[in-house]
Homo-oligomer: A and B are copies of this chain.
Amino acid sequence: MKILVTGGAGFLGQQLIRALLERGKLRLDDEEVSIERIVCFDRSVGVLQDPRVENVAGDIADSSVVQRLVDRDTAAIVHLAAVVSGTAEADFDLGMQVNLDGTRLLLETCRAVGHRPRLLFSSSIAVFGGDLPEIVDDSTTPTPQGSYGTQKLIGELLVQDFSRKGYVDGRSVRVPTVVVRPGLPNGAASGFASGIIREPLAGVEAILPVDPSTEMWVASPRAVVGMFLHALELPAADWGWNRSVNLPGLVVSMEQELEALRKVGGEAAVALVRHEPDEDVLRLVRTWAGRFDTARARAMGFRADPDFESIVRAYVADNSEAVRIAARAG
């Protein structure tokens, strides 16, 4: 069988594909099915090379492209392709095209093929915003305060309705802010939460654009990939009619991030972080939720990271080529 990963060339996509290749199998409906092929779809070709990986580059909002991505062998789809929060806010049309039209097109393509594939949609805690309770739980109404969160929530509603109609077996997971993202900063407004760890560990200065007391709901790339696989393998009955869930994560303040950075990279690393408030970032971040009670996800077997220091240590272990200061300190 075949798995399609959209946005597969991104760092999460690549890490997910690597995990799928290592496993070699996926448990679908009490059956271990071996993964013969993974289609890695993105704007550009993924770095990861493997005989089982087919790299396809193209536009997720182009129907002639998307229609070629899914066929009757495509047993599972992980839909990660998205324009991130800062970009979706700055370029409204691009966000609508990729995040809304792209998702709809993918769902319509599955419907047209007619084999009801399992489809995992990567949504975001950015669906929450506005007048939030102190702790967001499974009953909190998503009221996004940005175009990215709006488009992700619309994607969830489409996944929900296409599943109800029997066109796909969909499930949406609201992913915490992923920290530490490797590589270059992307357009995500939440990027600083990774930047203040990643850049200092590489010996580069980083800007903290929010108050150090700012709390965020975060998860490591490892934890998120693990939860993606779990979400994909969970039987449809475990989801019931509600195909969206808030994923577990950790509450971490930027102060606590710097504390973990100190433990792993020493004072030299922390000294590279400069506090410089940015009103554009603040305006978006203020509307996000920092604390969650993810009872439903935990009951469904989703698991978060143990603590923030292990997130930083996992980053160092997985990205040794990008780490200078920790290597010296460690």
Interface residues in chain A, defined as those with a beta carbon under 8 Å from any beta carbon in chain B: 92, 130-131, 139-145, 147, 150, 153-154, 157-158, 160-161, 164-165, 241-242
Q: A157 contacts which of B92, B144, B242 (Cβ < 8 Å)?
A: B144
A97 to chain B, nearest CB (A): 12
| Cα–Cα, bound, A161→B241 (Å) | 27
Q: A139 contacts which of B141, B144, B164, B165 (Cβ < 8 Å)?
A: B141
A107 to chain B, nearest CB (A): 10
| Cα–Cα, bound, A160→B143 (Å) | 9
Most B C-beta atoms less than 10 A away, residue of A139, A145, A157, A164 = A157
Given contacts A150-B157, A150-B160, A157-B144, contact A130 B241 (CB under 8 A): yes
A189 to chain B, nearest CB (A): 15
| Cα–Cα, bound, A157→B157 (Å) | 11
A137 to chain B, nearest CB (A): 11
A141 engages B142 (CB within 8 Å)? yes
Q: A147 contacts which of B92, B144, B150, B165 (Cβ < 8 Å)?
A: B165
| Cα–Cα, bound, A141→B92 (Å) | 26
A242 engages B150 (CB within 8 Å)? no
A150 engages B141 (CB within 8 Å)? no
8 examples of A-B residue contacts, CB within 8 angstroms: A130-B242, A141-B141, A141-B142, A143-B242, A147-B161, A147-B165, A153-B157, A157-B157
A166 to chain B, nearest CB (A): 11
A241 engages B142 (CB within 8 Å)? no
| Cα–Cα, bound, A147→B111 (Å) | 15
> Which residues of chain B are within 8 angstroms of A153 by Cβ–Cβ distance?
157
Q: A154 contacts which of B92, B154, B242 (Cβ < 8 Å)?
A: B154
Given contacts A92-B165, A161-B150, contact A141 B140 (CB under 8 A): yes
A197 to chain B, nearest CB (A): 31
| Cα–Cα, bound, A160→B153 (Å) | 12
> Which residues of chain B are within 8 angstroms of A144 by Cβ–Cβ distance?
157, 160-161
Which residue on B lies nearest to A149, using beta carbons? B161
Q: A145 contacts which of B130, B142, B154, B164 (Cβ < 8 Å)?
A: B164
> Which residues of chain B are within 8 angstroms of A140 by Cβ–Cβ distance?
141
> Which residues of chain B are within 8 angstroms of A157 by Cβ–Cβ distance?
144, 150, 153-154, 157
A138 to chain B, nearest CB (A): 9
| Cα–Cα, bound, A20→B229 (Å) | 56
Which residue on B lies nearest to A133, using beta carbons? B139
> Which residues of chain B are within 8 angstroms of A158 by Cβ–Cβ distance?
150, 154
Which residue on B lies nearest to A164, using beta carbons? B145
| Cα–Cα, bound, A242→B129 (Å) | 11
| Cα–Cα, bound, A248→B330 (Å) | 64
> Which residues of chain B are within 8 angstroms of A154 by Cβ–Cβ distance?
154, 157-158
Which residue on B lies nearest to A127, using beta carbons? B157
Which residue on B lies nearest to A129, using beta carbons? B241
> Which residues of chain B are within 8 angstroms of A139 by Cβ–Cβ distance?
141
A92-B165, A147-B161, A147-B165 are known contacts; what are 16 more A-B pairs with Cβ within 8 Å?
A130-B242, A131-B242, A139-B141, A141-B142, A143-B160, A143-B242, A144-B160, A145-B241, A150-B157, A150-B158, A150-B160, A150-B161, A153-B157, A154-B154, A154-B157, A154-B158
